[in-house]
Structure 1
């Protein structure tokens, strides 16, 4: 089970919008799995995000 990482969700949503274009309004943490995961939704639709550490494979 993954623990929810501490990060500024509003800042990350703004960075995603700037880099990729989707307008997302909220992230919902999913505690199951090996990496922190979030369904994200907003006016641009639904997306699935995983938060991975900065490694060679992430």
Structure 2
């Protein structure tokens, strides 16, 4: 649902990308014009090991 709102420059004309590499991780969404990374936590982040990695 979020991607439907972000794609095709619908948010104030800013371009967002999905699954964008950032440093050691991959952000769910990224806007270079705003230097904004959005990470949505899902089931893949459950458990001790993924939470320690996220820190």
TM-score, normalised with respect to structure 2: 0.31
Larger strand proportion of the pair: 2
Using CA pairs under 8 Å that are at least 6 residues apart, name the structure with larger relative contact order, 1 or 2: 1
TM-score (norm 1): 0.30
Report which of the two structures shows the higher radius of gyration computed on alpha carbons. Answer: 2
